[in-house]
């Protein structure tokens, strides 16, 4: 199972519309996470040569040039992330830190919540890494390069123009830079879904938060993968559970009919965390 903490308005919208919003990464709560990840990758690229003798000569030579280009570029600029959209989930249920930070309602999904209409190259899902120190972060960046980024880049090069490798390498590094988080957030045990969009992509929408317009995109979920809604430690928890049970009965009926899933049930639970906001 995987969990999404939010407020009641968003929880109701997700369930009824079968969509989750992904927010542009510059507007997330950890202001340094993206630049921190890029810094680790910049240092990793300066010493990385694991691709040599493992890939065809043409690919290796172009990759070497692309790495050299990225090292000299402004790789650590926060503006580089303007096209990356993120949805956050947690591997930990009923977490006090999550209740207090993100909202008093928790949606529980099976791991197949991603819509089958998406293909692998359109989204990236990964666990966040909480670096305890620089060397640990650098080692993780090296591991990502060797085991994920370079192999995926090689796969892309077989189906795309190898001359645009600079673009693909930078994009993959920017995406996986979002897997790094400050150790202060370790209790979140976060898993992220990331989608890249062009600036003029018509799927980008905007919502208002204070004096800001926050860019976001909506993402179709598999409704049959939503298994539960848990009410956090709120003052009127019993009443909230009662009304949500009526709501869940309605949603369960709709999903059973729409998807021919007679065994589907949306469950409503209550948090056992003894927290009271004074």
200, burial (CB in 10 Å: exposed 0-12, middle 13-18, buried 19+): exposed
Q: For 115-147, how does the pLDDT look when each residue is reduced to its tens digit (9 = 90+)?
A: 555 545 568 889 999 988 999 999 999 999 999
Nearest to 96 by CA among 241, 275, 237: 275
Task: Output the DSSP codes for 195-251.
Answer: EE--TT-TT-EEEEETTEEEEEEEEEB-GGGEEEEEE-S-TTHHHHHHHHHHHHHHH
Task: Output the DSSP codes for 12-28.
Answer: HHHHHHTEEEEEEGGGS
Task: Output the DSSP codes for 23-88.
Answer: EEGGGSS-TTHHHHHHHHHHHHHHH--TTTTTS-HHHHHHHHHHHHHHHHS-TT-GGGGTTEEEEE
Domain residue ranges of the chain, discontinuous segments joined by +: 18-98+114-225
Which of the residues in the chain have pLDDT under 70? 30-31, 50-52, 76-82, 114-122, 161-163, 275-278
Average per-residue pLDDT for the chain: 88
Cα–Cα distance, 65 to 57 (Å, whole number):
12
Q: For 176-200, how does the pLDDT look when each residue is reduced to its tens digit (9 = 90+)?
A: 999 998 888 888 899 999 998 887 7
């Amino acid at each position: 199972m995987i969990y999404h903490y939010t407020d009641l308005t968003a929880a109701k919208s997700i369930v009824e519309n079968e969509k989750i919003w992904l927010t542009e990464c510059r507007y997330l709560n950890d202001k340094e996470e993206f630049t921190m990840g890029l810094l680790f990758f910049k240092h990793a690229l300066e010493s990385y040569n694991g691709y040599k003798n493992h890939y065809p000569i043409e690919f290796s030579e172009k990759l070497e040039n692309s790495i050299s280009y990225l090292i000299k570029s402004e790789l650590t600029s926060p503006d580089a992330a303007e096209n990356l959209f993120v949805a956050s989930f947690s591997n930990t249920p009923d977490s006090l830190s999550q209740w207090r930070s993100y909202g008093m309602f928790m949606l529980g999904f099976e791991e197949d919540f991603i819509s089958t209409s998406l293909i692998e190259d359109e989204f990236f899902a990964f666990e966040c890494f909480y670096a305890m120190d620089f060397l640990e972060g650098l080692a993780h960046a090296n591991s990502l390069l060797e085991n994920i980024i370079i192999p995926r880049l090689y796969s892309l090069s077989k189906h795309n123009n190898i001359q645009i490798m600079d673009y693909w390498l930078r994009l993959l590094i920017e995406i996986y830079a979002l897997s790094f988080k400050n150790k202060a957030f370790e209790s979140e045990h976060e898993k992220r879904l990331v989608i890249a969009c062009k600036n003029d992509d018509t799927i980008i929408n905007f919502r208002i938060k204070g004096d800001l317009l926050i860019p976001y995109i909506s993402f179709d979920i598999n409704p049959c993968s939503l298994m539960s809604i848990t009410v956090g430690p709120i003052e009127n928890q019993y009443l909230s559970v009662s009304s949500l049970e009526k709501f869940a009965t309605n949603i369960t009926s709709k999903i059973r009919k729409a998807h021919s899933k007679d065994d589907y049930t949306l469950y409503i639970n209550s948090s056992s965390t003894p927290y009271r906001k004074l």
